[in-house]
Structure 1
Amino acid sequence: MVRVPGVFDAERVAVVGATEREGSVGAAVMENLLEDFGGEIRPVNPGADRVFGLPCVDDIAETDADLAVIVVPPTVALDVVESAGQAGIENLVVITAGFGEAGGEGATRERKLQELAETYDLNLVGPNCLGVVSTPSGLNATFGPRNALSGRMSFMSQSGALVTAILEWAGDRGHGFKDVVSLGNKAVLDETDFVETWGEDPDTDVVLGYLEGIENGTEFVETAREVTRETPVVVLKSGRTEAGAQAASSHTGAIAGSEAAYEAGLEKAGVIRADSTEELFDFGAMLAGGRLPTADGVAVVTNAGGPGVIATDAIGDSELELATFEDETRRTLQESLPPTANVYNPVDVIGDAPAERFGDALDVVLSDPGVGAAVVIACPSAVLSFDRLAQTLVEARKREDVPIAVCLMGGASVEGPSETLSDVETPTYFDPTRAVRSLAALERYRTIRKRRYEPPASFDVDRDAARSVLERVKSQGDNRLGIEAMELLDAYGIQTPEGDIVDSPGEAKELAERIGGDVVMKVVSPDILHKTDIGGVEVGVPLRDVEDTYEALVSRARNYRPDARLLGVQVQELIDLDDSVETIVGMNRDPQFGPLVLFGLGGVFVEVLEDTTVRIAPLSEAEAAGMLEDIDSTPLLRGARGREPVDEAGIVETIQRLSQLVVDFPAIVELDINPLVATADGVVAVDIRLTVDHETL
């Protein structure tokens, strides 16, 4: 069991490698601890009697510390960790670099570090990290140049350098923290451990994180999904582009999963994603206030038309909506504001408005039942005191339990008023767009809190039949299966056209007679994946031509690739595509998050339009249904241009059945059903392609 709080609740801290040598990490850690830490500090250095006036010991085992901060060279660090473990010191911060991020011997040292942590049941942060901070006790066990302000946000970062920058930037803007941790290489403790810890911490209102990768995506999703029911989690995930992912990997040694997997995983976990460090802390500051919208509409109160329009546009670009005031609200505004004021939303109290007029207008709009949040925008004027306005807004916040984002669009004159508002957890911004985006994060979290997590459906399937199909890869000497694996879908209750694979023209004709009507014929070969490119598919073959078509398909395959393995020809019921929509359902197994299920527009359009969406399996019915809402082509499913709506319930069930299949069989690495043809009468899987890791069957 991980006991992360011990890292932050230490009363006696040992610094192994403590020194007074100017410019050294050991000296910086000691100076930071001496500045604010309310507990006891134990320097450890066999080459010194005293460090900064404190008596030194030669070995960590000679201390009674409950936290050890290790800054000695990597070749010595392992011995120190073992000594700490033998002495019963469970909490360690290994600042020292030269481990997994260095490769070679460093990677070997990191594996040894993990073995020691397991042997002695250690809570170990790092290695290769900046350290940790906990403001309630004044603990600053880092070598950064600035400590954190006290607050109710807790922050983790995979980049130590970013921590130093953030602490200075946040301090200048009044953002405070409960705990801060530099994750480093995450050899033992990782982001999931800290999300769980802070989710149980009554003094942490919001969890913030900068991550370059997630060690165990499945565990993270399960943990964060529980935490975000009560505590918001906001993450800035870098490595979104291919180049960014490669840079992250080389920087931290992390294995970067696909961006689509991270997007789906964070969404499933209920984590709010920020696109920049500015957004990360904008969202955090707003969420730390603890107030969520109680209605859908946003009111804007401003003394300047232009910024009001900017805010209105930002609301239109977000999932928020501009509130429509009730008649009583507009009448009250007309009575309390000058005749030239605008009483519709956005409310313009005009440029000569003093603070009291802002307050009067805000009180009126906040009482409207359709208003769940407000943006107040103030530009400087000769009659407006930002100090007085801040006090007015503080009083309004006390009266109304409604989130308010404040834009004080000035320079040095806003610093004092911003601090006043920050004291009552009301963030301020210069840009109205930032204010609106922060309110949108609140609305997003409101939606997350309202989620009802449903277990995935469990269908009655034939696992033995499915396993038999998958084991064919062993006899084929390949790891790919195509249309010869259609029985796999049958085993999991996914509808397929009537048909089979035959190995002679005569058998092809007999099967076509049983099917009745024109048929589709496809050459079956694991060595020829793109069959249409070589003329390996014929659609609408009449009975009289079936035998000749069989011969022609085999001949084309032989001419294209003489050494190809031919398993026969598939003869299949012809599906009428005139009133259908071709979709795709597929799966790719991500190294961090496991099976990633895909749905979208299929057929030839999947690679051209790329109108797809993904979710992490296993999927509940609600999650599968949500995939149909995500794609741009949803209107095609619902009867665009006079077509009949397709069987959406059939698509949703197929997605769920595929989800169950790929969870049941981890050996399935990739799978595509394309097209999955959807009509008003149901859905049918026309083609399949999959890759199997036969070593895990």
Structure 2
Amino acid sequence: MYSYSCLKALFEPQSIAVIGTSAEADNPGSIIIANLLASGYKGKIFPVNGEGEDVHEIRAFSSVNELPRSTDLAIICLPPSEVSSILELLAEIPVRAAVVTSGGFGEIGREGYLLEKHLARTAKNCDMIILGPNCMGLMNSALSMNASIEPDFTFSGNIAFFSQSGAICTTALDWANCEGVGFSKFISLGNKAILGEATILNYLADDPDTKVIVGYCETLKDGQDFLRTAYDTTTKKPLILLRAGETPAGARAASAHAGALTGSTTAYNAAFRQTGVMQAVDIEDMFNLAHAFSSQPLPKGSNVAIVSNSGGPGILAADMCEKGTLTISRPSSATIDILKGILPAYASLYNPIDMLGDANADTYHKTLRAVAEDDAFHSILIILSPAANVLNDVAKIAADIIALEKECEKPIITCFMGGPSVESSRKLLRGAGIPCYDFPETAVRSLDAMTRCDRWRKKDWPIEVCFRRDYSKAKSIVENCKLTGLNELVELDAMHLGSAYELPVPETVLARTSNQAAKAAKRIGYPVALKIASPLISRKQELGLVSTNIKTPQELRKAFLEITTRATRRCKDAYITGCLVQAMGPEDSHEVVVHFRRDPQFGPLISFSLAGLHEDMLNDVSSRLAPLALNDAQEMIREIKAYPILRGVRFGGAVNLGALEDILLMVSQMAMDLPEIQEAEFDPIIAGPEGAVIANMRMTVG
């Protein structure tokens, strides 16, 4: 992370140099100076151009060397080939932060990519932070500073917004200005040659002007840094992200647009889940969540009261609540008694509270006051549909809700359905800081996100677990594999590596003949399993090269002959060293699979599932990014749909979940310790009431 003084120079500069200006109105540097002046920026502005021409009646410098030593921030609007040399001159002043608006870097291909890498090296050597290149700039409403090429300056507000995409930036500004929503900070990230999301979050998390942070991302720079910083941020403020590039087509487009690798959707979902990030489903959802989080307090629980003047919308809202984390709780007896005196006998009092179509402003007023005072509810969702009886009271109801919101400590979300008949009241509510949505589902989604955020903030700190391991032994096994030219660790080598991490591996012996197999089985103790031994055959079970629960020497010799013959016939080019004799796993057991692979952005991604159809066809898999904490391992096991099977429902007995948690944590430790292992599979893990053993493992070394 970069020093706070560098970030302060970027976000809170007292003086700004704009390099590459001219007297022409459409010059990017000239536009930025015009925007600084129009926004009311009180700091010093230093235009720089080769001719020394004044810009907007401000005296210009003809060279960077003439800039005062007090210059905090430089905004560079020059051709890409000239930027790095300018940075070196700025470092001598010294200027600690720069914004590069120029395009023509990593987004255009190889030539631009090399220019961007050179730019990044130069900036790091000069101990300077860079926003961009290929960005619009930034805004700080607290300083009345519009240091961007976008003329529409934001209202002052408490939402910090950042985006890789310039188009999303302009869209966000247009939406905010239309809705009367303001931003505290507004940041266009561009190509992120130096500054990425993690550094930006590190600053915004402690920014006193920011209540909620919202961002659009296509790729994330420095995935492991992001995990740490995002977690710290969400313990202080809500963080809402919209991530593009989830599909293969979208990922290709995002990679081309940003000029960087994209990680897998599974890895992004795991990253957001582990760090408490609220993930928006689309642009509309991102803006809806931003408004709700910025204007309402977080609910102190999941119980929601739904108040409506029609049954259908209330039912839709209840359905949406049940699909999420909200609870449709029953009003207290005292509230029910009050409602009986307010509403018709045939109204629904038990949540959703349906006041029926003849409800008017007075009905809303009395019902909402009763609900607001009921401790059974932590939040209130108010729905209004334009029934004939209420049309003349819509504005009055909106005004009453605004008055209630000032008295009530609970979050209030509204949904005024319809068109022109309710539009002015919607604007009235939104202008007063009360989110108002067109449809119940959208309103519930925002309230659900706020409830999840509150639940996340109340979570216990994760418990880090470190197991004993023989790191030097494990490292030597991996290095020996590389020296011998192999790219895969299988069988005994993989087992030895597992034992170095104290993973529960069964006793295993390599037998080259059936006689050796019989002796090994006698020493291990029947029953045993037998599987082909070959570094070139990995999917033994699928090829019929495994035999289990062998109970006698006769069965063992027969199985040895069948397996080796079948392997010779089906894998003609494979080098076969014999068979592995292995102790059987616990009885009354289930087979599970643990797997990890390295994501290009986040590092080791660990997955867990039941073996067989659950993994291969049903995709019933849970995933987390390493390093795992104890709660991560516990959640992974419990969130798969097949979890009841592990608890002994219908099939066999309940497995020892602690043993599976230990395996996940040990695998996480291995993945973090040994970056040479690109992928590893522990399949099957045989888990029973007494514990678990890893019957087979294979690892790809790179």
Give the C-alpha shift of residue 52 in structure 1: 2.5
Per-residue CA deviations over 1:233-290 (Å, capped at 9, x if unaligned) read 1110111112211111111112111111111111111111111111112111111135
- Residues 1:164 and 2:164 aligned together: no
Q: Pick the aligned partner of 2:330 from 301, 315, 324.
A: 324
| In the alignment, structure 1 residue 454 sits paired with structure 2 residue 471 | no
* 3-state DSSP of counterpart to 1:674: strand
Matches within 5 A, 1:576-655: 579-603=588-612, 605-641=614-650, 643-655=652-664
Unaligned stretches of 5+ residues in structure 2: none
Match of 1:421 in 2: 429
Q: Which of 569, 573, 577 in structure 1 is aligned with 2:579? A: 569
Q: In 2 relative to 1, CA 554–223 (structure 1 residues): closer, same or farther, beyond 3 Å?
A: same
C-alpha distance in 2, partners of 1:228/1:605?
Answer: 33
User: Which amino acid in the other structure matches residue 417 of structure 2?
Assistant: M
Single out whichever of 549-558 and 161-170 deviates more from structure 2.
Answer: 549-558
Q: Alignment RMSD, CA only?
A: 2.1
Report Cα offsets for 1:66-93 as digits up to 9, x if no partner.
2221111112222322222222222211
Q: Distance in 1 between matches of 2:519 and 2:207?
A: 71
* Pairing partner for 2:59 from 37, 55, 63: 55
* Match of residue 236, structure 2, among 206, 230, 236: 230
Alignment check: 8 A CA contact 1:355 1:389 kept: yes
Q: Does 1:396 align with 2:404?
A: yes
How far apart are residue 472 of structure 1 and its match? 4.2
The one-letter amino acid of 1:214's match is L
What is the identity, as a one-letter code, of the residue corresponding to 1:514?
A: R
Query: Could you say what secondary structure the match of 1:187 adopts?
Result: coil
Assess if the C-alpha contact under 8 Å between 1:126 and 1:183 holds in 2: yes
Within-5 A mapping of 1:187-336: 187-289=193-295, 291-336=297-342
Higher mean C-alpha deviation, range 490-499 or range 480-489: 490-499
Letter in 2 for 1:666: P
Alignment deviations for residues 397-456 of structure 1 (CA, whole Å, 9 cap, x no partner): 122100110112243454554444335432111111111000011011011101122332
CA-to-aligned-CA distance 1:146-183 (integer Å, 9 cap, x gap) = 22222100001011121012211221122211111110
> In structure 2, what is the Cα distance between the partners aligned to 1:641 and 1:418?
53
Question: Secondary structure at 1:370's aligned position in 2?
Answer: coil
Q: Residue in 2 aligned with 1:43?
A: 47
Partner Cα distance (1:419, 1:45) in 2: 46
Counterpart in the other structure of 1:120: 126
Change (3 A) 1:136 1:382: farther
Which sits farther off after the overlay, 552-561 or 13-22?
A: 552-561
CA distance in 1, matches of 2:283, 2:18: 31
- Alignment-derived partner of residue 33 in structure 2: 30
Letter in 2 for 1:325: P
- Structure 1 residue 493, shift from structure 2 partner: 2.5
CA contact (8 A) 2:544 2:563 kept: yes
Question: Any idea what SS the aligned residue of 1:398 has?
Answer: helix
Deviation at 1:232, TM superposition (A): 0.9
Q: In the alignment, what sits opposite 1:146?
A: 152
Matched AA of 2:412: I
Q: Aligned residue for 1:538? A: 547
Residue aligning to 1:489: 498
Identity, % of aligned positions? 34
For 1:214 and 1:403, the matched residues in 2 are separated by 32
Question: For residue 444 of structure 2, what is the amino acid of its counterpart?
Answer: V
TM-score (norm 1): 0.94
Which deviates further from its counterpart, 272-281 or 420-429? Answer: 420-429
> In the alignment, residue 572 of structure 1 is paired with which amino acid?
Q
After superposition, residues 3-18 of structure 1 pair within 5 angstroms as 3-18=6-21
Which runs of at least 4 in structure 1 moved beyond 6 Å after TM superposition?
Answer: none
Q: Which amino acid is the alignment partner of residue 55 of structure 1?
A: R
- For structure 1, which segment, 361-370 or 559-568, has the greater mean C-alpha deviation from structure 2 after superposition? 559-568
- Counterpart-to-counterpart distance in 2, 1:475 and 1:36: 63
User: CA shift at 1:197, angstroms?
Assistant: 0.6
Which position in structure 2 is the counterpart of 1:478? Answer: 486
Match of 1:324, SS? coil
Distance 2:614 2:533 in 1: 23
1:415 to 1:84, Cα distance in 2 relative to 1, 3 A: farther
Stretch of structure 1 that moved more, 623-632 or 95-104: 95-104
Distance 2:303 2:178 in 1: 33
8 A Cα contact 1:8 1:139, kept in partner? no
Aligned equivalent of 1:504? 513
Q: Distance in 2 between matches of 1:416 and 1:608?
A: 51
Q: 2:116 is matched with which residue?
A: 110
Q: Report the equivalent of 1:76.
A: 82
Q: Distance in 2 between matches of 1:5 and 1:630?
A: 42
Cα distance in 2 for partners of 1:687, 1:144 equals 59
Structure 1 counterpart of 2:685: 676
Moved more, 542-551 or 522-531: 542-551
Moved more, 513-522 or 362-371: 513-522
Three-state SS of the structure 1 residue aligned to 2:65 is helix
Change (3 A) 1:391 1:123: same
Q: 1:554 to 1:642 in 2, by over 3 A?
A: closer
